[in-house]
Structure 1
Amino acid sequence: MALRIDSHHHFWNTDNPDYDYYWMSDDLAVIKGQRRPQDLLPWIQAKGIDKTIMVQTIPSLRETEDFLKIAADTDFVAGVVGWVDLTNPEIGNTLKRLKSGPDGKYLVGIRHQVHDEEDARWLLRKNVRHGIKAVGAADLTYDLLLKSRELPAGLEIVQENPGMRFVMDHISKPNIQEGEIEPWAGQMKKMAEYPNVWVKVSGMITEADWYNWKPDDIKPYVDMLLDWYGPSRLMFGSDWPVCTLAGTYSQVYDTAAYCFSGLNSDDLAAVFGGNAVSAYKLDDFHLRT
Protein backbone atom coordinates (compact mmCIF):
# COMPACT_ATOMS: atom_id res chain seq x y z
CA MET A 1 0.00 0.00 0.00
CA ALA A 2 1.33 3.44 -0.98
CA LEU A 3 2.55 5.75 1.76
CA ARG A 4 0.20 8.59 2.60
CA ILE A 5 1.85 11.96 3.18
CA ASP A 6 0.63 15.23 4.63
CA SER A 7 2.82 17.66 2.69
CA HIS A 8 2.37 20.72 4.90
CA HIS A 9 2.08 21.30 8.63
CA HIS A 10 3.80 23.27 11.38
CA PHE A 11 4.91 23.05 15.00
CA TRP A 12 5.54 26.06 17.24
CA ASN A 13 5.87 27.40 20.75
CA THR A 14 4.68 30.97 20.99
CA ASP A 15 5.71 31.04 24.66
CA ASN A 16 9.37 30.91 23.62
CA PRO A 17 10.73 34.49 23.87
CA ASP A 18 13.53 33.64 21.42
CA TYR A 19 11.05 33.38 18.55
CA ASP A 20 9.05 36.23 17.01
CA TYR A 21 5.80 34.89 15.57
CA TYR A 22 5.17 38.27 14.01
CA TRP A 23 2.20 37.11 11.92
CA MET A 24 0.25 35.65 14.83
CA SER A 25 -1.96 38.63 15.63
CA ASP A 26 -4.55 38.85 18.41
CA ASP A 27 -7.31 37.50 16.18
CA LEU A 28 -5.26 34.28 15.95
CA ALA A 29 -4.97 33.91 19.72
CA VAL A 30 -6.76 30.56 19.64
CA ILE A 31 -3.77 28.91 17.97
CA LYS A 32 -1.11 30.42 20.23
CA GLY A 33 0.77 28.23 22.68
CA GLN A 34 2.62 24.98 21.97
CA ARG A 35 1.90 22.67 19.05
CA ARG A 36 4.07 19.58 19.18
CA PRO A 37 4.38 16.18 17.46
CA GLN A 38 2.28 14.47 20.12
CA ASP A 39 -0.54 16.94 19.41
CA LEU A 40 -0.63 16.08 15.69
CA LEU A 41 -0.08 12.33 15.99
CA PRO A 42 -3.66 11.24 16.83
CA TRP A 43 -5.06 13.27 13.95
CA ILE A 44 -2.78 11.77 11.31
CA GLN A 45 -3.23 8.28 12.74
CA ALA A 46 -7.00 8.65 12.45
CA LYS A 47 -6.65 9.40 8.73
CA GLY A 48 -3.97 6.86 7.94
CA ILE A 49 -1.22 9.40 7.26
CA ASP A 50 2.21 7.75 7.40
CA LYS A 51 4.59 10.67 6.89
CA THR A 52 4.58 14.46 6.94
CA ILE A 53 6.52 17.49 5.76
CA MET A 54 7.13 20.08 8.49
CA VAL A 55 7.32 23.68 7.26
CA GLN A 56 8.95 26.79 8.71
CA THR A 57 6.77 29.40 10.40
CA ILE A 58 9.09 32.40 10.90
CA PRO A 59 12.26 33.78 9.25
CA SER A 60 14.62 32.11 11.69
CA LEU A 61 17.63 29.94 11.03
CA ARG A 62 17.42 28.73 14.61
CA GLU A 63 13.88 27.48 14.04
CA THR A 64 15.12 25.54 11.01
CA GLU A 65 17.87 23.94 13.09
CA ASP A 66 15.36 23.07 15.82
CA PHE A 67 12.96 21.62 13.24
CA LEU A 68 15.68 19.36 11.87
CA LYS A 69 16.23 18.01 15.39
CA ILE A 70 12.48 17.47 15.83
CA ALA A 71 12.37 15.60 12.51
CA ALA A 72 15.18 13.31 13.64
CA ASP A 73 13.27 12.55 16.85
CA THR A 74 9.83 12.12 15.27
CA ASP A 75 9.09 8.95 13.34
CA PHE A 76 6.37 10.43 11.16
CA VAL A 77 8.24 13.55 9.97
CA ALA A 78 9.87 12.75 6.62
CA GLY A 79 11.38 16.15 5.90
CA VAL A 80 11.64 19.84 6.74
CA VAL A 81 11.04 22.89 4.57
CA GLY A 82 13.19 25.38 6.44
CA TRP A 83 14.22 29.02 6.16
CA VAL A 84 17.48 30.68 5.24
CA ASP A 85 18.19 34.29 4.36
CA LEU A 86 17.89 34.36 0.59
CA THR A 87 19.55 37.78 0.48
CA ASN A 88 22.73 36.63 2.25
CA PRO A 89 25.62 36.31 -0.23
CA GLU A 90 26.87 33.38 1.88
CA ILE A 91 23.65 31.42 1.45
CA GLY A 92 25.48 28.60 -0.32
CA ASN A 93 27.68 28.05 2.71
CA THR A 94 24.68 28.22 5.04
CA LEU A 95 22.86 25.54 3.06
CA LYS A 96 25.97 23.38 2.96
CA ARG A 97 26.34 23.65 6.72
CA LEU A 98 22.71 22.75 7.33
CA LYS A 99 22.80 19.79 4.97
CA SER A 100 26.05 18.44 6.40
CA GLY A 101 24.86 18.66 10.01
CA PRO A 102 23.83 15.61 12.03
CA ASP A 103 20.17 15.97 11.00
CA GLY A 104 20.80 17.66 7.66
CA LYS A 105 19.30 14.92 5.52
CA TYR A 106 15.88 15.97 6.74
CA LEU A 107 16.20 19.34 4.98
CA VAL A 108 14.21 18.94 1.76
CA GLY A 109 13.21 22.52 0.95
CA ILE A 110 13.38 26.23 1.72
CA ARG A 111 10.63 28.82 2.10
CA HIS A 112 10.26 32.52 2.80
CA GLN A 113 7.00 34.31 3.65
CA VAL A 114 7.07 36.32 0.44
CA HIS A 115 3.44 37.42 0.76
CA ASP A 116 4.39 39.36 3.90
CA GLU A 117 6.95 41.51 2.07
CA GLU A 118 5.82 45.04 1.19
CA ASP A 119 7.35 44.76 -2.27
CA ALA A 120 5.20 42.60 -4.56
CA ARG A 121 8.31 42.01 -6.69
CA TRP A 122 10.58 41.12 -3.80
CA LEU A 123 11.40 37.78 -5.42
CA LEU A 124 12.93 39.60 -8.38
CA ARG A 125 15.55 41.47 -6.40
CA LYS A 126 19.04 40.54 -7.54
CA ASN A 127 20.16 39.12 -4.20
CA VAL A 128 16.94 37.11 -3.79
CA ARG A 129 17.32 35.66 -7.27
CA HIS A 130 20.86 34.64 -6.35
CA GLY A 131 19.56 33.01 -3.18
CA ILE A 132 16.90 31.01 -4.98
CA LYS A 133 19.46 29.75 -7.48
CA ALA A 134 21.59 28.64 -4.52
CA VAL A 135 18.63 26.63 -3.20
CA GLY A 136 18.40 24.90 -6.55
CA ALA A 137 22.15 24.30 -6.65
CA ALA A 138 21.83 22.58 -3.27
CA ASP A 139 19.23 20.25 -4.83
CA LEU A 140 16.50 21.53 -2.52
CA THR A 141 12.92 22.36 -3.40
CA TYR A 142 11.73 25.96 -3.10
CA ASP A 143 8.25 26.56 -1.66
CA LEU A 144 6.57 29.67 -3.07
CA LEU A 145 4.30 31.25 -0.45
CA LEU A 146 2.41 33.79 -2.54
CA LYS A 147 -0.91 35.47 -3.05
CA SER A 148 -2.28 36.83 -6.33
CA ARG A 149 -0.26 40.03 -5.87
CA GLU A 150 3.07 38.17 -5.94
CA LEU A 151 2.20 35.52 -8.54
CA PRO A 152 3.64 37.45 -11.53
CA ALA A 153 7.03 37.65 -9.82
CA GLY A 154 6.79 33.99 -8.87
CA LEU A 155 6.15 33.11 -12.49
CA GLU A 156 9.31 34.94 -13.55
CA ILE A 157 11.34 33.04 -10.95
CA VAL A 158 10.00 29.72 -12.22
CA GLN A 159 10.79 30.72 -15.81
CA GLU A 160 14.36 31.61 -14.83
CA ASN A 161 14.99 28.29 -13.07
CA PRO A 162 13.71 25.42 -15.22
CA GLY A 163 16.00 22.94 -13.50
CA MET A 164 14.62 23.59 -10.01
CA ARG A 165 11.65 22.06 -8.22
CA PHE A 166 9.02 24.56 -7.05
CA VAL A 167 5.97 23.99 -4.85
CA MET A 168 3.12 26.50 -4.67
CA ASP A 169 1.87 26.58 -1.08
CA HIS A 170 -1.85 26.82 -0.29
CA ILE A 171 -2.80 27.09 -3.99
CA SER A 172 -1.44 30.67 -3.70
CA LYS A 173 -4.25 31.77 -1.39
CA PRO A 174 -7.12 33.02 -3.53
CA ASN A 175 -9.75 34.89 -1.53
CA ILE A 176 -12.25 32.03 -1.41
CA GLN A 177 -14.55 33.89 0.97
CA GLU A 178 -15.08 36.55 -1.69
CA GLY A 179 -15.14 34.03 -4.54
CA GLU A 180 -11.94 35.33 -6.17
CA ILE A 181 -11.18 33.82 -9.55
CA GLU A 182 -9.10 36.46 -11.30
CA PRO A 183 -6.31 37.44 -11.29
CA TRP A 184 -5.47 34.23 -9.39
CA ALA A 185 -6.72 31.84 -12.05
CA GLY A 186 -4.90 33.42 -14.98
CA GLN A 187 -1.57 33.38 -13.16
CA MET A 188 -1.94 29.84 -11.80
CA LYS A 189 -2.87 28.57 -15.26
CA LYS A 190 0.31 30.13 -16.67
CA MET A 191 2.36 28.55 -13.89
CA ALA A 192 1.00 25.14 -14.85
CA GLU A 193 2.86 25.35 -18.17
CA TYR A 194 6.08 24.59 -16.27
CA PRO A 195 6.44 20.89 -15.38
CA ASN A 196 8.79 21.62 -12.45
CA VAL A 197 5.94 23.21 -10.45
CA TRP A 198 3.71 21.34 -8.00
CA VAL A 199 0.78 22.77 -5.99
CA LYS A 200 -0.22 22.04 -2.41
CA VAL A 201 -3.95 21.70 -2.01
CA SER A 202 -3.77 23.13 1.48
CA GLY A 203 -4.59 26.24 3.47
CA MET A 204 -7.92 26.68 1.72
CA ILE A 205 -10.47 26.65 4.52
CA THR A 206 -8.74 29.59 6.19
CA GLU A 207 -9.16 31.56 2.95
CA ALA A 208 -12.88 30.80 3.07
CA ASP A 209 -15.44 31.96 5.64
CA TRP A 210 -13.99 30.47 8.84
CA TYR A 211 -17.37 29.87 10.40
CA ASN A 212 -19.62 29.02 7.46
CA TRP A 213 -17.47 27.37 4.78
CA LYS A 214 -18.47 24.08 3.20
CA PRO A 215 -16.61 21.64 0.93
CA ASP A 216 -18.45 22.93 -2.12
CA ASP A 217 -16.80 26.33 -1.57
CA ILE A 218 -13.43 24.61 -2.01
CA LYS A 219 -14.15 22.16 -4.82
CA PRO A 220 -14.33 24.65 -7.74
CA TYR A 221 -10.75 25.74 -7.04
CA VAL A 222 -9.54 22.14 -6.88
CA ASP A 223 -11.38 21.38 -10.12
CA MET A 224 -9.54 24.22 -11.85
CA LEU A 225 -6.19 23.01 -10.52
CA LEU A 226 -6.92 19.47 -11.71
CA ASP A 227 -7.69 20.85 -15.15
CA TRP A 228 -4.44 22.84 -15.29
CA TYR A 229 -1.95 20.67 -13.40
CA GLY A 230 -3.51 17.22 -13.50
CA PRO A 231 -3.39 14.79 -10.58
CA SER A 232 0.37 14.23 -10.98
CA ARG A 233 1.32 17.70 -9.66
CA LEU A 234 -1.13 18.29 -6.83
CA MET A 235 -0.57 17.19 -3.23
CA PHE A 236 -2.59 17.11 -0.05
CA GLY A 237 -1.49 19.30 2.84
CA SER A 238 -3.36 19.99 6.07
CA ASP A 239 -1.75 23.29 7.12
CA TRP A 240 -2.27 22.12 10.71
CA PRO A 241 -2.49 23.83 13.16
CA VAL A 242 -3.32 27.01 11.20
CA CYS A 243 -6.29 25.11 9.76
CA THR A 244 -7.83 24.85 13.23
CA LEU A 245 -8.90 28.49 12.93
CA ALA A 246 -11.62 27.23 10.60
CA GLY A 247 -11.90 23.48 11.12
CA THR A 248 -10.37 20.27 12.40
CA TYR A 249 -7.67 18.18 10.78
CA SER A 250 -10.34 15.62 9.92
CA GLN A 251 -12.49 18.23 8.21
CA VAL A 252 -9.54 19.35 6.08
CA TYR A 253 -8.70 15.78 5.10
CA ASP A 254 -12.32 14.86 4.39
CA THR A 255 -12.76 17.98 2.25
CA ALA A 256 -9.71 17.05 0.18
CA ALA A 257 -11.01 13.50 -0.17
CA TYR A 258 -14.35 14.90 -1.37
CA CYS A 259 -12.69 17.20 -3.89
CA PHE A 260 -10.58 14.36 -5.30
CA SER A 261 -13.28 11.69 -5.13
CA GLY A 262 -13.50 11.44 -8.91
CA LEU A 263 -9.90 10.24 -9.29
CA ASN A 264 -8.86 6.64 -9.76
CA SER A 265 -6.82 4.78 -7.16
CA ASP A 266 -3.45 5.52 -8.81
CA ASP A 267 -4.17 9.24 -9.00
CA LEU A 268 -5.38 9.31 -5.41
CA ALA A 269 -2.16 7.62 -4.32
CA ALA A 270 -0.24 10.33 -6.13
CA VAL A 271 -2.17 13.25 -4.61
CA PHE A 272 -2.05 11.80 -1.10
CA GLY A 273 1.58 10.73 -1.19
CA GLY A 274 3.47 10.07 -4.39
CA ASN A 275 3.60 13.65 -5.62
CA ALA A 276 5.18 14.83 -2.36
CA VAL A 277 7.83 12.16 -2.84
CA SER A 278 8.63 13.57 -6.29
CA ALA A 279 8.44 17.25 -5.38
CA TYR A 280 10.70 16.91 -2.32
CA LYS A 281 12.90 14.13 -3.72
CA LEU A 282 12.17 11.89 -0.76
CA ASP A 283 14.10 8.62 -0.63
CA ASP A 284 14.26 5.52 1.56
CA PHE A 285 15.87 7.52 4.37
CA HIS A 286 12.93 9.93 4.54
CA LEU A 287 10.25 7.31 4.04
CA ARG A 288 11.46 4.58 6.36
CA THR A 289 8.72 3.08 8.52
Structure 2
Amino acid sequence: MIIDAHQHYWLLSRGDYDWLTSEAGKLFTDYMPNHLKPQLSNHGVARTIVVQSAPTLAETEFLLGLARKEPCIAGVVGWMNLLSGTFEEDLSRLKADPLFVGIRPTFPRGEDGSLLFTERLDRSLQVLADHDVPVDLLLSAHQLHDVIKLVTRAPTLRVVLNHIGNPTLQLDDWEAWADAIAAIAEHPGSYCKLSCMITRVPEGMQANEVLYPYVRHVRQCFGSERLLFGSDWPVCRLSGEYGDTAALLVRLLTDLTEEERVSIYKKNAMRVYGLK
Protein backbone atom coordinates (compact mmCIF):
# COMPACT_ATOMS: atom_id res chain seq x y z
CA MET A 1 0.00 0.00 0.00
CA ILE A 2 1.41 3.37 -1.05
CA ILE A 3 0.52 6.57 0.79
CA ASP A 4 0.93 9.85 -1.06
CA ALA A 5 1.88 12.21 1.77
CA HIS A 6 1.33 15.48 -0.10
CA GLN A 7 -1.43 16.51 -2.49
CA HIS A 8 -4.17 19.13 -2.72
CA TYR A 9 -7.84 19.60 -3.53
CA TRP A 10 -9.56 22.92 -4.18
CA LEU A 11 -12.88 24.33 -5.29
CA LEU A 12 -12.49 27.78 -6.80
CA SER A 13 -16.02 28.91 -5.90
CA ARG A 14 -15.03 28.80 -2.22
CA GLY A 15 -13.14 32.03 -2.85
CA ASP A 16 -10.25 31.95 -0.38
CA TYR A 17 -7.41 30.83 -2.69
CA ASP A 18 -5.81 34.23 -3.18
CA TRP A 19 -2.85 32.77 -5.06
CA LEU A 20 -5.05 30.97 -7.58
CA THR A 21 -5.74 33.36 -10.45
CA SER A 22 -6.09 32.94 -14.19
CA GLU A 23 -2.32 33.40 -14.40
CA ALA A 24 -1.93 30.00 -12.70
CA GLY A 25 -2.76 28.35 -16.04
CA LYS A 26 -3.98 24.76 -15.79
CA LEU A 27 -4.17 25.05 -12.01
CA PHE A 28 -6.97 27.60 -12.30
CA THR A 29 -9.78 25.06 -12.20
CA ASP A 30 -11.42 22.77 -9.66
CA TYR A 31 -9.45 19.75 -8.48
CA MET A 32 -11.50 17.29 -6.47
CA PRO A 33 -11.23 13.61 -5.50
CA ASN A 34 -13.06 12.38 -8.59
CA HIS A 35 -10.27 13.87 -10.71
CA LEU A 36 -7.50 12.08 -8.83
CA LYS A 37 -8.91 8.71 -7.83
CA PRO A 38 -8.40 7.01 -11.23
CA GLN A 39 -4.74 8.03 -11.18
CA LEU A 40 -4.27 6.78 -7.63
CA SER A 41 -5.66 3.43 -8.68
CA ASN A 42 -3.42 3.29 -11.75
CA HIS A 43 -0.29 3.82 -9.66
CA GLY A 44 -1.08 1.66 -6.66
CA VAL A 45 -1.70 4.54 -4.27
CA ALA A 46 -4.25 3.56 -1.66
CA ARG A 47 -4.51 6.73 0.43
CA THR A 48 -3.32 10.33 0.49
CA ILE A 49 -2.61 13.18 2.88
CA VAL A 50 -4.37 16.34 1.70
CA VAL A 51 -2.53 19.58 2.51
CA GLN A 52 -4.07 23.02 2.87
CA SER A 53 -4.08 25.37 -0.12
CA ALA A 54 -5.62 28.43 1.56
CA PRO A 55 -4.66 30.17 4.82
CA THR A 56 -8.08 29.83 6.42
CA LEU A 57 -9.72 27.61 9.00
CA ALA A 58 -12.70 27.43 6.67
CA GLU A 59 -10.64 25.60 4.05
CA THR A 60 -9.36 23.19 6.69
CA GLU A 61 -12.97 22.41 7.60
CA PHE A 62 -13.77 21.98 3.91
CA LEU A 63 -10.96 19.43 3.51
CA LEU A 64 -12.03 17.56 6.64
CA GLY A 65 -15.53 17.36 5.17
CA LEU A 66 -14.10 15.84 1.99
CA ALA A 67 -12.05 13.39 4.04
CA ARG A 68 -15.13 12.14 5.86
CA LYS A 69 -16.70 11.29 2.49
CA GLU A 70 -13.65 9.90 0.67
CA PRO A 71 -11.98 6.75 2.06
CA CYS A 72 -8.88 7.46 -0.05
CA ILE A 73 -8.08 10.48 2.14
CA ALA A 74 -6.07 9.30 5.12
CA GLY A 75 -5.76 12.69 6.76
CA VAL A 76 -5.76 16.47 6.43
CA VAL A 77 -2.88 18.85 7.09
CA GLY A 78 -4.76 22.06 7.68
CA TRP A 79 -3.95 25.69 8.40
CA MET A 80 -3.97 27.59 11.68
CA ASN A 81 -3.10 31.11 12.78
CA LEU A 82 -0.22 30.63 15.21
CA LEU A 83 -0.75 34.11 16.66
CA SER A 84 -4.48 33.79 17.25
CA GLY A 85 -5.75 34.40 20.77
CA THR A 86 -7.99 31.35 20.31
CA PHE A 87 -5.22 29.07 19.03
CA GLU A 88 -5.57 26.48 21.80
CA GLU A 89 -9.35 26.35 21.46
CA ASP A 90 -9.14 26.05 17.67
CA LEU A 91 -6.58 23.26 17.93
CA SER A 92 -8.67 21.36 20.46
CA ARG A 93 -11.68 21.55 18.14
CA LEU A 94 -9.74 20.37 15.10
CA LYS A 95 -8.06 17.55 17.01
CA ALA A 96 -11.46 16.19 17.90
CA ASP A 97 -11.67 15.05 14.27
CA PRO A 98 -9.48 11.94 13.80
CA LEU A 99 -8.84 12.95 10.18
CA PHE A 100 -7.00 16.10 11.28
CA VAL A 101 -3.34 15.06 11.31
CA GLY A 102 -1.27 18.25 11.25
CA ILE A 103 -0.96 21.87 10.17
CA ARG A 104 0.92 23.89 7.60
CA PRO A 105 0.84 27.43 9.00
CA THR A 106 2.08 30.72 7.70
CA PHE A 107 4.66 32.44 9.89
CA PRO A 108 5.04 36.11 10.85
CA ARG A 109 8.05 37.60 9.09
CA GLY A 110 10.11 40.75 9.18
CA GLU A 111 11.00 43.02 6.28
CA ASP A 112 13.97 40.81 5.37
CA GLY A 113 11.75 37.71 5.25
CA SER A 114 13.11 36.19 8.44
CA LEU A 115 10.73 34.56 10.88
CA LEU A 116 9.69 36.81 13.77
CA PHE A 117 9.70 34.88 17.04
CA THR A 118 7.38 36.20 19.70
CA GLU A 119 6.12 34.93 23.03
CA ARG A 120 2.78 34.11 21.41
CA LEU A 121 4.45 32.15 18.62
CA ASP A 122 6.66 30.22 21.04
CA ARG A 123 3.61 29.32 23.11
CA SER A 124 1.70 28.04 20.07
CA LEU A 125 4.68 25.96 18.93
CA GLN A 126 4.96 24.42 22.38
CA VAL A 127 1.24 23.61 22.42
CA LEU A 128 1.66 21.80 19.09
CA ALA A 129 4.64 19.90 20.47
CA ASP A 130 2.77 18.97 23.65
CA HIS A 131 -0.15 17.65 21.60
CA ASP A 132 2.18 15.84 19.16
CA VAL A 133 0.80 17.74 16.16
CA PRO A 134 3.31 17.76 13.26
CA VAL A 135 4.00 21.02 11.45
CA ASP A 136 4.54 21.03 7.68
CA LEU A 137 6.94 23.77 6.57
CA LEU A 138 6.63 25.43 3.17
CA LEU A 139 9.70 27.64 2.83
CA SER A 140 12.06 28.90 0.19
CA ALA A 141 15.62 27.61 0.23
CA HIS A 142 16.77 31.00 1.55
CA GLN A 143 14.45 30.67 4.57
CA LEU A 144 15.71 27.28 5.74
CA HIS A 145 17.79 28.91 8.46
CA ASP A 146 14.47 29.68 10.15
CA VAL A 147 13.82 25.95 10.61
CA ILE A 148 17.00 25.60 12.62
CA LYS A 149 15.91 28.49 14.87
CA LEU A 150 12.42 27.03 15.17
CA VAL A 151 13.47 23.56 16.31
CA THR A 152 16.00 25.10 18.69
CA ARG A 153 13.20 27.05 20.37
CA ALA A 154 10.77 24.10 20.29
CA PRO A 155 13.04 21.02 20.49
CA THR A 156 10.21 18.50 20.90
CA LEU A 157 8.26 19.79 17.90
CA ARG A 158 7.89 17.44 14.91
CA VAL A 159 8.47 19.29 11.61
CA VAL A 160 8.03 18.11 8.02
CA LEU A 161 10.03 20.00 5.43
CA ASN A 162 8.02 20.28 2.21
CA HIS A 163 9.52 19.82 -1.27
CA ILE A 164 13.08 18.98 -0.13
CA GLY A 165 13.43 22.58 1.02
CA ASN A 166 12.71 24.11 -2.39
CA PRO A 167 16.29 24.28 -3.71
CA THR A 168 16.83 26.76 -6.53
CA LEU A 169 18.85 24.13 -8.46
CA GLN A 170 21.42 26.85 -9.11
CA LEU A 171 25.01 25.75 -8.52
CA ASP A 172 25.82 28.92 -6.58
CA ASP A 173 23.07 28.07 -4.05
CA TRP A 174 24.01 24.43 -3.53
CA GLU A 175 26.27 24.84 -0.50
CA ALA A 176 23.85 27.00 1.50
CA TRP A 177 20.94 24.64 0.79
CA ALA A 178 22.98 21.51 1.53
CA ASP A 179 24.35 22.91 4.81
CA ALA A 180 20.87 23.96 5.95
CA ILE A 181 19.43 20.54 5.11
CA ALA A 182 22.17 18.83 7.09
CA ALA A 183 21.59 21.10 10.09
CA ILE A 184 17.81 20.55 10.03
CA ALA A 185 18.26 16.78 9.79
CA GLU A 186 20.25 16.81 13.05
CA HIS A 187 16.94 17.49 14.80
CA PRO A 188 15.52 13.98 15.42
CA GLY A 189 11.95 15.20 15.00
CA SER A 190 12.51 16.51 11.47
CA TYR A 191 11.26 14.84 8.30
CA CYS A 192 11.49 15.71 4.61
CA LYS A 193 9.05 15.24 1.73
CA LEU A 194 10.27 14.10 -1.67
CA SER A 195 7.67 16.24 -3.37
CA CYS A 196 7.27 19.07 -5.91
CA MET A 197 10.58 18.27 -7.57
CA ILE A 198 9.42 17.88 -11.15
CA THR A 199 8.15 21.47 -11.31
CA ARG A 200 11.54 22.91 -10.33
CA VAL A 201 13.51 21.49 -13.26
CA PRO A 202 14.35 24.13 -15.90
CA GLU A 203 12.85 23.50 -19.32
CA GLY A 204 15.09 21.47 -21.58
CA MET A 205 17.08 19.86 -18.76
CA GLN A 206 16.97 16.20 -17.74
CA ALA A 207 15.13 15.92 -14.41
CA ASN A 208 17.07 12.83 -13.34
CA GLU A 209 20.45 14.49 -13.80
CA VAL A 210 19.46 17.80 -12.21
CA LEU A 211 17.70 16.36 -9.16
CA TYR A 212 19.85 13.34 -8.34
CA PRO A 213 22.44 15.17 -6.19
CA TYR A 214 19.66 16.83 -4.18
CA VAL A 215 17.82 13.59 -3.53
CA ARG A 216 21.09 11.86 -2.69
CA HIS A 217 21.85 14.60 -0.14
CA VAL A 218 18.50 14.42 1.66
CA ARG A 219 18.83 10.63 1.76
CA GLN A 220 22.25 10.94 3.34
CA CYS A 221 20.99 13.48 5.88
CA PHE A 222 17.55 12.15 6.82
CA GLY A 223 17.91 8.48 5.99
CA SER A 224 15.08 6.45 4.53
CA GLU A 225 13.29 6.44 7.89
CA ARG A 226 12.56 10.20 7.70
CA LEU A 227 11.67 10.72 4.02
CA LEU A 228 8.14 10.69 2.60
CA PHE A 229 6.80 10.33 -0.94
CA GLY A 230 4.52 13.16 -2.07
CA SER A 231 3.14 13.90 -5.53
CA ASP A 232 2.12 17.53 -4.94
CA TRP A 233 -0.77 16.89 -7.32
CA PRO A 234 -2.24 18.93 -8.97
CA VAL A 235 0.62 21.46 -8.73
CA CYS A 236 2.85 18.86 -10.39
CA ARG A 237 0.69 19.24 -13.51
CA LEU A 238 2.64 22.39 -14.33
CA SER A 239 5.39 20.04 -15.50
CA GLY A 240 3.83 16.58 -15.76
CA GLU A 241 0.98 14.31 -14.77
CA TYR A 242 0.70 12.19 -11.64
CA GLY A 243 2.42 9.27 -13.31
CA ASP A 244 5.33 11.46 -14.39
CA THR A 245 6.12 12.65 -10.89
CA ALA A 246 5.77 9.14 -9.48
CA ALA A 247 8.03 7.69 -12.19
CA LEU A 248 10.64 10.40 -11.62
CA LEU A 249 11.00 9.46 -7.97
CA VAL A 250 11.31 5.80 -8.87
CA ARG A 251 14.19 6.66 -11.22
CA LEU A 252 15.87 8.75 -8.52
CA LEU A 253 15.59 5.94 -5.96
CA THR A 254 16.63 2.91 -8.00
CA ASP A 255 18.83 1.40 -5.27
CA LEU A 256 16.27 1.24 -2.46
CA THR A 257 15.95 -1.94 -0.45
CA GLU A 258 12.42 -3.22 0.05
CA GLU A 259 12.50 -2.04 3.66
CA GLU A 260 13.55 1.45 2.59
CA ARG A 261 10.87 1.52 -0.08
CA VAL A 262 8.14 0.61 2.38
CA SER A 263 9.38 3.30 4.77
CA ILE A 264 9.40 6.10 2.19
CA TYR A 265 6.17 5.13 0.47
CA LYS A 266 4.10 4.11 3.49
CA LYS A 267 5.45 3.69 7.01
CA ASN A 268 6.93 7.15 7.48
CA ALA A 269 3.66 8.85 6.55
CA MET A 270 1.82 6.61 8.97
CA ARG A 271 4.27 7.42 11.76
CA VAL A 272 4.50 11.17 11.12
CA TYR A 273 0.76 11.72 10.84
CA GLY A 274 -0.37 9.07 13.31
CA LEU A 275 -2.39 7.10 10.78
CA LYS A 276 -4.16 3.94 11.88
Superposed pair shares fold, TM > 0.5: yes
Whole-angstrom distance in 2 between the partners of 1:27 and 1:248: 19
Whole-angstrom distance in 2 between the partners of 1:178 and 1:46: 36
**Cα distance change on mapping 1:179 and 1:58 into 2, 3 Å:** farther
Whole-angstrom distance in 2 between the partners of 1:224 and 1:204: 14
Unaligned ranges ≥5, structure 1: 284-289
**Please, which moves more after superposition, 158-167 or 108-117?**
108-117
Contact persistence 1:11–1:35 (CA under 8 A): yes
Whole-angstrom distance in 2 between the partners of 1:49 and 1:121: 37
**Cα distance change on mapping 1:114 and 1:81 into 2, 3 Å:** same
Q: Give the CA RMSD over aligned residues.
A: 2.0
Whole-angstrom distance in 1 between the partners of 2:265 and 2:116: 30
Among 41, 45, 52, the residue aligned to 1:49: 45
**Cα distance change on mapping 1:86 and 1:230 into 2, 3 Å:** same
Contact persistence 1:96–1:138 (CA under 8 A): no
Contact persistence 1:232–1:267 (CA under 8 A): yes
Whole-angstrom distance in 2 between the partners of 1:275 and 1:43: 22
Whole-angstrom distance in 2 between the partners of 1:115 and 1:200: 23
State how many pairs are aligned: 276
* Structure 1 match to 2:119: 126
**Please, which moves more after superposition, 236-245 or 24-33?**
24-33
* Structure 1 match to 2:26: 30
* Structure 2 match to 1:12: 10
* Structure 1 match to 2:140: 147
Whole-angstrom distance in 2 between the partners of 1:66 and 1:122: 28
Code of the aligned partner of 1:4: I
Q: Secondary structure at the match of 1:8?
A: strand
Code of the aligned partner of 1:75: P
Code of the aligned partner of 2:163: H
Whole-angstrom distance in 2 between the partners of 1:180 and 1:189: 15
Query: TM-score, normalization: structure 2?
Result: 0.93
Contact persistence 2:56–2:79 (CA under 8 A): yes
Q: Secondary structure at the match of 1:12?
A: coil
Q: Where does 1:93-104 land on structure 2 (aligned, <5 Å)?
A: 93-100=89-96, 104=97
Whole-angstrom distance in 2 between the partners of 1:115 and 1:254: 37
What is the Cα deviation at residue 211 of structure 1? 6.0
Code of the aligned partner of 2:63: F
Unaligned ranges ≥5, structure 2: none
Contact persistence 1:124–1:153 (CA under 8 A): no
Query: TM-score, normalization: structure 1?
Result: 0.89
Answering whether residue 168 of structure 2 is matched by residue 175 of structure 1, we say: yes
Answering whether residue 158 of structure 2 is matched by residue 160 of structure 1, we say: no
Contact persistence 2:109–2:115 (CA under 8 A): no
What is the Cα deviation at residue 119 of structure 1? 5.1
List structure 1 segments (4+ residues) > 6 angstroms apart after TM superposition: none
* Structure 2 match to 1:286: none
Contact persistence 2:67–2:74 (CA under 8 A): yes
What is the Cα deviation at residue 132 of structure 1? 2.1
**Cα distance change on mapping 1:44 and 1:172 into 2, 3 Å:** same
Answering whether residue 258 of structure 2 is matched by residue 265 of structure 1, we say: yes
Q: Secondary structure at the match of 2:102?
A: strand
Among 59, 62, 79, the residue aligned to 1:66: 62
- Give a deviation string over 1:208-257, Cα, whole Å, max 9, x none: 22564522222211001111111111111000000000111111001111
**Cα distance change on mapping 1:155 and 1:194 into 2, 3 Å:** same
Q: What percentage of residue pairs aligned between the two structures are identical?
A: 32
Q: Where does 1:216-227 land on structure 2 (aligned, <5 Å)?
A: 216-227=209-220
**Please, which moves more after superposition, 178-187 or 189-198?**
178-187
Contact persistence 1:166–1:279 (CA under 8 A): no
Whole-angstrom distance in 2 between the partners of 1:68 and 1:75: 12
